[in-house]
Amino acid sequence: MNHDSYPDSYIRGILNTVKTIAMVGASEKENRPSYFAFKYLLERGYTMIPVNPLRAGEQILGRHIYARLSDVPVPIDMVDIFRSSRHALPIVQEALTLNPRPQVIWMQLSIRNDEAAALAEAGGMKVVMNRCPKIEYGRLSSEIAWMGVNTRTISARKAAASGGIQRLSLNRASVPGGATEAAAAAERMERERGSAG
């Protein structure tokens, strides 16, 4: 596997098949990237399991925090590593001892450990490095649109100028969303106007 570039089909296949994700390094602090990613994936229907030895026994968004992967009492489909690159190898080594083994090792943005990746792949796992499942899910589901991220927040602040418009592949499956009662009412009114005229 070329870990410098992943086909969308590879990422989509992972995100469509995994159901239980153990996030190693998950934080209960609402201003931390791991919290945002954890919350986002939880809201998208994944069973999220926080793993953080410094917070074991506490909770994140109603989910019990475990000290180690081996403490998790249910099978794990994917291990999402939110620790620095030097911690990836011991996490993969522990993941390999689990029965059943996780299907995927995912290392977050800026995290790359080729030795850990090779070990995971030798153990039959898929590997993603230097990517965020939250961002990839948003990109592949069209929640990240041409004009930015759909944060579901309305703001009067002008968006900062960027280096251009992000263009997404048009040959991807997308997930419908954004329907509201107001939009449905407007659509009914438009239909009624069309049938009356």
Within-domain flag for 107: yes
Within-domain flag for 102: yes
> Rounded CA gap, 175 and 139, in Å?
11
Within-domain flag for 153: no
CATH code for the domain in which residue 46 is found:
3.40.50.720
Question: Amino acid letter at 127?
Answer: V
- Eight-class DSSP state of 19: -
Within-domain flag for 53: yes
> Rounded CA gap, 21 and 133, in Å?
10
Decide which of 196 and 51 is more confident.
51
Within-domain flag for 166: no
Number of compact structural domains in the chain: 1
Within-domain flag for 151: no
pLDDT single digits (tens) 155-178: 445 544 444 333 233 234 434 344
> Rounded CA gap, 126 and 133, in Å?
14
Within-domain flag for 197: no
Domain residues for the domain of 79 are 8-140
> Rounded CA gap, 78 and 125, in Å?
9
> What predicted TM-score, i.e. pTM, was given to this entire model?
0.74
DSSP string, 137-180: HHHHTTSEETTEE--S----SPPPP-SSPPPPPSSS--------
pLDDT single digits (tens) 35-65: 999 999 999 999 999 999 999 999 999 999 9
